[in-house]
């Protein structure tokens, strides 16, 4: 039985969006990261200009896909994700970093760093970033966060790069602290923004259908 979702502080300001927009958001972010027309490839560090160009290329490809094609791509990545997306009504709005949690061990971080809120995770990561000898901060976060920071202006203002947030207790956070929402996609982007002191995030927010 699905438990009653917790209410976000700014939920009254949420704007309803079509589910296909969320699916486009997920697939576009995958293309930017490691896809080129469906084929995985390594993406080196990009300048802001190169990042914007890759974003434009990804949008040009993905916005031509039908919802059925998007579903096939999402299911190929993780079938439970598609099921969760289809179980929700979707909204665009703002959430605070203490309202949502990241995936368990997001970005290879220690489990205890990801048990609570995004805010708590970011505080631990920020502390570790300031200590180059910290044994628990793995290389992915050390590498990814500075790269993401270079593209904040683009990421914050591009709806197709907003984090996607599922109702609390969904998927990878079932056995962790219950939050109002769980970040499904965009975990490292969200952590990087919270590390930089951003308390409020633009996001796609899923709410279970009534």
Q: Confidence class of residue 170 from pLDDT cuts 50, 70 and 90?
A: confident
Residue 19 lies in a domain: yes
**Mean pLDDT confidence for 148-154:** 91
| Average pLDDT for 61-72 | 96
Indicate the burial class of 153 (C-beta count within 10 angstroms; 0-12, 13-18, 19 or more): exposed
3, part of any domain: no
Q: Residue 39 domain-assigned?
A: yes
Q: Tell whether 1 is covered by a domain.
A: no
**What are the Cα distances from residue 34, in Å, to 42, 57, 62, 131?**
6, 13, 14, 30
Supply the pLDDT for residue 140: 75
CB 188 within 8 A of CB 108: no
Q: Are 34 and 41 in contact (CB under 8 A)?
A: yes
Please provide residue 193's backbone torsions phi and psi, each rounded to the nearest 5 degrees: -70, -40
**Is residue 148 domain-resident?**
yes
Q: What CA–CA distance (Å, rounded) separates 191 from 182?
A: 13
Q: Average the pLDDT over each of 8-12, 93-97, 135-139 and give the range with the smallest value.
A: 135-139
The predicted pLDDT at position 36 comes to: 47
pLDDT, position 39: 47
Per-residue pLDDT averaged across 106-135, rounded?
Answer: 87
Residue 5 lies in a domain: no
Residue 197 lies in a domain: yes
Mean per-residue pLDDT for 112-135? 87
Reported confidence tier of residue 3, pLDDT bands at 50, 70, 90 = low
Q: Which domain holds residue 107?
A: 12-208
Report pTM.
0.90
The domain total for the chain is: 1
d(CA 151, CA 51) in angstroms, rounded, equals 8
Q: Which of 21, 69, 67, 28 is closest to 51 using CA atoms?
A: 28
Is the residue at 192 inside a domain?
yes
């Amino acid at each position: 039985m699905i438990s009653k979702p917790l209410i976000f502080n700014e939920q009254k300001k949420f704007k309803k969006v079509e589910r296909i927009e969320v699916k486009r958001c997920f697939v576009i972010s995958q293309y930017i990261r490691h896809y080129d027309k469906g084929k995985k490839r390594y993406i080196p560090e990009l300048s802001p200009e190169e990042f914007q160009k890759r974003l434009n290329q990804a949008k040009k490809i993905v916005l031509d896909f039908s919802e059925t094609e998007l579903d096939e791509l999402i299911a190929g990545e993780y079938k439970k994700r598609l099921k969760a997306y289809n179980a929700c009504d979707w909204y665009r709005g703002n959430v605070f970093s203490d309202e949502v949690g990241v995936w368990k061990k997001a970005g290879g971080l220690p489990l205890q760093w990801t048990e609570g809120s995004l805010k708590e995770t970011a505080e631990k990561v920020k502390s570790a970033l300031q200590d180059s000898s910290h044994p628990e901060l793995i290389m992915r976060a050390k590498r990814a966060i500075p790269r993401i920071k270079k593209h904040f202006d683009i990421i914050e203002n591009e709806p197709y790069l907003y984090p996607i947030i599922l109702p609390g207790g969904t998927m990878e956070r079932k056995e962790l602290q219950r939050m109002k929402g769980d970040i499904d996609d965009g975990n490292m982007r969200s952590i990087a923004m919270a590390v930089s002191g951003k308390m409020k995030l633009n996001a796609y927010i899923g709410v279970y259908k009534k």
